[in-house]
Amino acid sequence: MSEAVNTGTPLYGSEASADDQQTAFTNGEVPVAVYGLGKMGLPLASVYAEVTGNVTGADVDPDVVAGLNAGENHIAGEPGLDELVDDLVSRDAFRAVADPKEAATDARVHVVIVPTLIDDNGAPDLSIVESVMRDIASGLEEGDMVIAESTLPPRSCVDRLLPILEDESGLELGEFGLAFCPERTSSGRALEDIRGAYPKIVGGADEESTRVAELIYGHLNTNEIITVSDTTTAEAVKVFEGVYRDVNIGLANELAQHTEAFDIDVTEAIEAANTQPFCEIHAPGAGVGGHCIPYYPRFIMKEFDTETPVMRAARDTNDEMPLYTADHAVDGLHAEGVDPAESTALVLGLTYRPGVDEIRATPALPLVERLVEEGVDVDAVDPVNTHTEPFEAAGANLVDLDGVAETYDAVVLVTPQEAFDDLDLTSLAPQDGRLVVVDGRQSLTELRGHDAVHYRGVGVNV
């Protein structure tokens, strides 16, 4: 329990009128702490600060904290975030601290948006979330509200987070509130998403928690606020969204592997099939990266005894796509009479999807590893990517766009960064043969049939 008296207005269990509570929240009388100021946390903290004018962000990265307190946004590629952070900090609506406990002391609303990771065995790792819950408990006061936005396996709030908050604070649910309100936000459009691109899902550990969370998000999100029965239902909603996507990408990838057997463009068939409303087959590709979609199925597969054959099969299919794509390059080289061990290749795109500087679970890494394993001399280029070490450790030579060699035996497109749009790949063809082009995202189909190119695509027929 904190020594300092918390002067902020509590919302949980408040007997004030709804209007007075709303006014207190938007007047900054309800101090908010946001834990985790990364790709999702900083935009979220900024929207909270835009609404309340009184947000303290906590991040264990001192560079993040120092930069933010200087009004600098460290998250690239988020339209509007630079200006918003600068404005909020300049008018003291937002400040950052490096110690989550410091933020917990004065806050009346605690919003947790730190990473939920996967351990080496593929099981969910909630250690960071649980550590933040202990920090919050150190400053938790009667009337406080805790909101988890980090994606969590179903039952995490009831089985893991609530016991930590109660045991470490000496308070019980009913004296403070807990809700799970998942972050339905995509990098590159975070502010737009948080402000109301989609309905906000809210699930409380008790009715009062749901009420308070609904009041809060009614001010942040202009879209519908959907209240569900409890925290576990809300946790399931978020995981189900991700599982749906992973399974459907897995289906697309499995269908794409029939391209040659059917002797058709599977992507053409998918596009046509999707013209009726009961079909939404996703896009086949070089693999599924990021720290959402590849991970969320493991929040169910690894956590509960119920069998999950569909999710597991899709996950396995998606995990093999980088190797399937690399093998397209190796087979193409053989077909052109080139020994892979004597060949050079350029890998285009290393981040997990275009425009986002994130390499977690990126398909590019296992693909590079496979090519290097086959003896290919690999150059790799990605103007968006700032994380080079894993690819260098895998044996790739990281080059800038102006450092690309004159010719290669093969080019493999993994992530179609905008900067590649103007590349004339045919100019990279070797003098005495054709350039093997492997199109991992159906982005180079105009090269099919080109004299200087041996084209191979994922889901695209030649």
Closest residue to bound ligand NAD by CB: 38
CB contact at 8 A, 397 and 380: yes
SS3 of 54, please?
coil
**What whole-number distance in Å separates Cα of residue 67 and Cα of residue 273?**
49
Nearer to ligand UD9, 31 or 290 (CB): 290
Report the site for ligand UD9 in 45-104 (rule: CB under 6 A). none
- Give CA–CA dist 319/361, Å, rounded: 9
Q: How far is the CB of 117 from ligand NAD (least distance, A)?
A: 8
Residue 9 in contact with ligand UD9, rule: CB under 6 A: no
Q: Is 120 exposed, middle or buried (0-12, 13-18, 19+ CB in 10 A)?
A: exposed
Contact of residue 202 among ligand NAD, ligand UD9, none (CB under 5-8 Å per partner type): none
The sheet carrying 94-97 orders its strands as: 94-97, 55-58, 32-35, 109-112, 145-148, 177-180, 200-204, 225-228
Q: Which two tokens stand for residue 368?
A: 């590079």
Please report how close the Cβ of residue 207 comes to ligand UD9 at its closest, in angstroms: 27
Does residue number 186 form part of the binding site for ligand NAD (CB under 6 A)?
Answer: yes
Stretch that binds ligand NAD, among 109-117, 160-168, 172-180, 391-399 (CB under 6 A): 109-117
| Partner from ligand UD9, ligand NAD, none binding residue 241, C-beta < 5-8 Å depending on class | ligand UD9
Taking CB under 6 A as the rule, does residue 289 contact ligand UD9?
A: yes
Instruction: Classify 89 as helix, strand or coil.
Output: helix
Binding mask 261-290 for ligand NAD (x = CB under 6 A): ------------------------------
Q: Is 246 in the site for ligand NAD (CB under 6 A)?
A: no
Residues 6+ apart with CB under 8 A from 371: 326, 329, 330, 340, 345, 347, 378, 412
Tokens found for residue 53 = 């004018």
Site for ligand UD9 in 131-190 (CB under 6 A): 184-187
Helix/strand/coil for 175: coil
- Nearest partner of 441 among 368, 371, 353, 314, judged by Cα: 353
For ligand NAD, the closer of residues 58 and 225 by Cβ is 58
In the bound state with ligand UD9, the residue whose beta carbon lies nearer, of 117 and 452, is 117
Q: Are 214 and 12 in contact (CB under 8 A)?
A: no
Considering CB distances under 5 to 8 angstroms, the limit depending on partner class, which of ligand NAD, ligand UD9, none binds residue 242?
ligand UD9
Query: Is 283 among the residues that bind ligand UD9 (CB under 6 A)?
Result: yes
Phi-psi region of 34 (alpha: psi -120 to 50; beta: other; left: phi over 0): beta
Residues β-bridged to residue 148: 112, 180
Question: Angle at CA 201, nearest 5°, toward 198 and 203?
Answer: 175
Using CB under 6 A as the binding rule, the residues of this chain from 52 to 71 that contact ligand NAD are 58-61, 64
CB of 251 to ligand NAD, least distance (A): 22
- Give the SS3 label for residue 267: helix
* 218 belongs to the binding site for ligand NAD (CB under 6 A): no
**By three-state DSSP, how is residue 64 classified?**
helix
| Least Cβ distance, residue 15 to ligand UD9 (angstroms) | 36
Q: Does 290 bind ligand UD9 (CB under 6 A)?
A: yes
150 binds ligand NAD (CB under 6 A): yes
Q: Which residues bind ligand UD9 (CB under 6 A)?
A: 184-187, 241-242, 245, 249, 282-283, 285, 288-290, 292-293, 352-353
Q: Which residues bind ligand NAD (CB under 6 A)?
A: 35-41, 58-61, 64, 100, 113-116, 128, 131-132, 150-151, 183, 185-187, 291-292
